[in-house]
């Protein structure tokens, strides 16, 4: 049941991020004033970034619940994949589209962006966080519900025979 809840949250998160990513990109296709297009793009780009972080945190928490119940970490790594895909889309494709738009409209002279580098660094950090999170949850589960219960030694009623 918990896995189905996680999948539902994942589908909703993907749909929400896909919408805001597309909507941000659509502002760059605007035929109106470039300054207005950039304002609309930046607003929705940063809103999508906030949604990505919040939804990733919610998915990570739900993934922890799935890991705790099923002892399988697939949900944590799907959360990482979700974050990584949208971080790559935002850092490489969407940011590049923004710079092409600005270059075409002669809005500013910058042609280099740090967004791809930031995206790769954030993906690496999130990978480490997911790995450490899985390690901690598995260890805590093992401490709370040990698989082997140590048996107390039984007192022997008869002494051992000794060889003489």
For residue 159, the model assigns a pLDDT of 61
Closest CA to 6 of 68, 50, 87: 68
pLDDT tops 80 at residue 148: no
Q: What is the pLDDT of residues 93-141, one digit of tens each?
A: 999 898 888 888 777 766 678 889 999 999 999 999 999 999 999 999 8
Q: How far is CA 68 from the centre of its chain?
A: 18
Is there a contact between 63 and 76 (Cβ–Cβ < 8 Å)?
A: yes
User: How confident is the prediction for the chain on average, in pLDDT?
Assistant: 89
Helix and strand numbers, DSSP H then E, in the chain: 5, 0
What pLDDT is stored for residue 104 in this prediction? 81
Q: What is the pLDDT of residue 93?
A: 93
Stronger pLDDT, 144 or 86, i.e. the higher one: 86
Rounded distance, CA 142 to CA 60, Å?
20
Backbone angles phi, psi at 146, to 5 degrees: -65, 145
What pLDDT score was predicted for residue 111?
66
Q: What is the pLDDT of residues 62-93, one digit of tens each?
A: 999 999 999 899 999 999 999 999 999 999 99
Instruction: Report residue 126 as tokens.
Output: 């999130």
| Reported pTM | 0.82
């Amino acid at each position: 049941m918990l896995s189905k809840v996680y999948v539902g949250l994942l589908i909703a998160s993907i749909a929400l991020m896909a919408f805001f990513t597309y909507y941000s990109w659509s502002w760059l296709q605007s035929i109106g004033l470039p300054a207005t297009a950039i304002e609309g793009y930046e607003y929705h780009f940063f809103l999508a970034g906030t949604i990505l972080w919040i939804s990733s945190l919610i998915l990570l928490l739900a993934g922890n619940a799935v890991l705790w119940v099923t002892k399988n970490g697939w949900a944590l790594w799907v959360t990482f994949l979700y974050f990584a895909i949208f971080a790559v889309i935002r850092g490489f494709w969407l940011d590049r589209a923004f710079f092409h738009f600005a270059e075409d409209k002669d809005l500013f002279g910058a042609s280099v962006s740090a967004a791809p580098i930031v995206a790769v660094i954030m993906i690496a950090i999130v990978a480490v966080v997911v790995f450490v999170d899985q390690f901690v949850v598995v260890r805590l589960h093992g401490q709370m519900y040990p698989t082997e219960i140590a048996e107390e030694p039984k007192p022997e009623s008869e002494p051992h025979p000794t060889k003489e």
